[in-house]
Chains A and B, each alone.
Chain A
């Protein structure tokens, strides 16, 4: 510290960091510009007296001025910092003394020296805060030059230290007042009711929430024992008894029931029903804390009362909501150290597990006990898994309900990890017995359907509206060489191919029966060939579109029936008939020829006695030839080996030819053939086959007509077609026979055939021939009114209407 006399340095700067901290320290005391205080004035008066000076000041130096907290012998309350002596004092650590201002170059021109108050002497001691900042000075001033004695200097320093203590006290008192105001504000605004008592339980303070909750004003309660004012004596007695046994000490039925547990180190929260000023009871949860002073003396108790009425309302509302929910709602708490419990379960637990909420208070075990034995471990594993992964939990398990028997329940919950490591679940459980039963029934039905489909000897394939395969049964897999359902259509060709019935023409995609059905078509008995790994398989397919109950198309189904074996047998039969017929024909040719030669007498006159027998032999050998011809024709037609040489030609000459060719046969039956109207139209036919048909129809008509009648052949045009009719006067077609007329070996009466000499194949062959030539065949007949057989062919070229 430099000596003031020698120092020529300018005034200490106010902008240094240390100076800023000093100003902060000064402001913390909150003493600047405070009113006069006699406590401080005592010190200035004492300083002036001890130092024998007319003026003494307690000066506080801020950034621009010095302000006097207390002054003796001076009227002004502050002066500018630039001209202040104290600025020099606070720059050092000890008394700053100026014995004669006029002799000191720092002060000789100071306005306080030259003018009022004409300072000639100054001595100041710094006021140093406990944390080391010089806040200001305690200084003495005289109008005469002089020096302080050592005793005076020591006194001044001592007084300075006392002033700082006073500052500290001032600050402390200020803080206390603030604290008290804060506490009051907290109490006033606390949402819980707070009552403060003395150690003996007499109320000293009540916050507004408590006033509202209990209906008493603070004045009405202060000075009264808390328990006597608000608690019911019976409740106090019950509690006292309980605590006496718990704590093993006698507890009186008074305020002790609240304070006693506290003194045993317990901080209980207990439920009480307090008396409201209007006589009602208020449910509260009480918490009690002891208030101690700094010396650990008991000063009273703080009683917190939480309003449970609101909680009870919430509880009630939850119960009402939970009662509306089918099944049970629950909150499940699983602590990290093992035990599990239900903080909440709705009444529905009765319905699901046959337990009351009370039975679940402590433990999870009663519920586990109700779970059907075989389902228990899976249930517990799923809970553990969800708890460890914190994923939503879902379980379906069976419950052995004491009244309902075995029921199915579904449980869902969401686990939430708590701060203490435990897991809290919120969830619900519902009875799904009915749904489960339906599901099981449905499963059974589906299983049944599946087995049925697998047991079928048919392949069954179905697809949805988009054409994706939805059903592909076992036979379908076998026949297609693979389960192609999961494969894309482009891969199907790797496993199988489809051909038309001829076995060589690949099926176009739009010809595939399932595709056709998907387009709305009903496909009936469509024959095709399925080639997978193995021999080709001939199948008949029947396909139909599938519709939902409201008529929406939902897909299609096709049933494939294997006819490979049937085809093989048919082929064998045909081959057999063909072979036999061919083999029969050669000997028959000899027999027929030989008989013809004998009967014609070229070998010599046949005796009259043999004539009739030879006639019979000849007729029957001819009939046998005709039968064999028909059989071979039928075979060719079925094998698709019969060639048709179709040629457009006039119809009339064909009818005339038929009339000529069959004339002699008719005459043998005593019947006349007659050609009626015939329009000049062209038809495209194989003439030989057309003659075959006409022969069949004409010979039939002749055979069945009574002798002397006539058979009429005629033709009419209608709708671009020509109808050729053969009308007879025979017995007509009986109702029983109508349906079988065009079937193979069909004859109205089996006795007829022999009598009438037919093969039973004529009409069947005629039908095939006409259909191969693009026409249709039919008949009209009333019994005993004759029959009219007809066929229709498309008219070719320039069709001319009947003249």
Chain B
């Protein structure tokens, strides 16, 4: 079983992008590629070959769920889990996002000191 090393992060807000990248690289020691849109993510995903994809829900243009549907056509979601980040915390919405194929949902605002650990737990939860 592969190790969790590379994380693809899709987020339109540059500040969140930066903080998240820092939190995952500095705290978790992962390699992070930040994409500012769903379209960019679709372009980069094959070349980057991430182990884990972190996807913002609300984005201009192609939003998170739409990006997920497109990603699903190219990659094996069992092998590369996708997790959403969202401010919306309704359990029904979380359920909806899971049904689209997301492994989990991380609620914003996140604790940057714990984000790496959170992602690691999610990654491990898919291992049998």
Contacts and interface: CB of A to CB of B under 8 A. Distances in A.
B15 A590 contact: yes
Contacts of B4: none
Interface string A579-594: 0001001111111111
Contact of A593 (B87, B91, B112): B112
Contact of B19 (A582, A594, A688): A594
A45 to B, nearest CB: 157
Contacts of A600: 27, 113
A590 B13 contact: yes
Interface string B10-49: 0001011011101100110000000000000000000000
A224 to B, nearest CB: 134
A645 interface: yes
A245 B89 CA distance: 127
A39 interface: no
Given A593-B20, A602-B27, A643-B92, A585 B108 contact: yes
A603 interface: yes
A625 interface: yes
Nearest to A595: B112
Contacts of A493: none
A597 B22 contact: yes
Nearest to A633: B89
A293 B71 CA distance: 151
B113 A589 contact: no
Interface centre among B16, B19, B87, B109 (most CB of A within 10 A): B109
Given A593-B23, A643-B92, A586 B112 contact: no
B113 A596 contact: yes
B110 A589 contact: yes
B125 interface: no
- Main secondary structure, interface of B, reads helix
Interface in B94-128: 108-113
Interface residues of B, number: 20
A589 B111 contact: no
Contacts of A588: 109
Residue picked from A589, A625, A645, most chain B C-beta under 10 Å: A589
A603 B25 CA distance: 10
A592 B15 CA distance: 11
A590 B23 CA distance: 11
A592 B112 CA distance: 8
Contact of A597 (B13, B27, B87): B27
Interface string A596-632: 1100101100000000000000000000010000000
Contact of A585 (B20, B27, B109): B109
Nearest to B109: A589
A589 B15 CA distance: 9
A643 B113 CA distance: 30
B110 A597 contact: no
Given A585-B87, A596-B113, A643-B90, A590 B19 contact: yes
Given A596-B113, A625-B109, A643-B90, A589 B19 contact: yes
B90 A597 contact: no
A395 B88 CA distance: 81
A643 B15 CA distance: 31
A586 B13 contact: yes
| Of A593, A597, A643, A645, most B-chain CB atoms within 10 Å | A593
A639 to B, nearest CB: 13
B27 A592 contact: no
B113 A597 contact: yes
A83 B36 CA distance: 168
Contacts of A587: 13, 15
Interface of B: 13, 15-16, 18-20, 22-23, 26-27, 87, 90-92, 108-113
5 contacts: A586-B15, A589-B19, A592-B112, A597-B112, A688-B91
Q: Which 9 A-B pairs have the closest CB atoms?
A: A590-B15, A593-B19, A593-B112, A589-B109, A602-B26, A596-B112, A590-B19, A597-B112, A594-B19
Given A593-B112, A594-B15, A645-B92, 10 more contacts: A585-B109, A586-B13, A586-B15, A589-B19, A590-B15, A593-B23, A594-B18, A594-B19, A596-B112, A602-B22
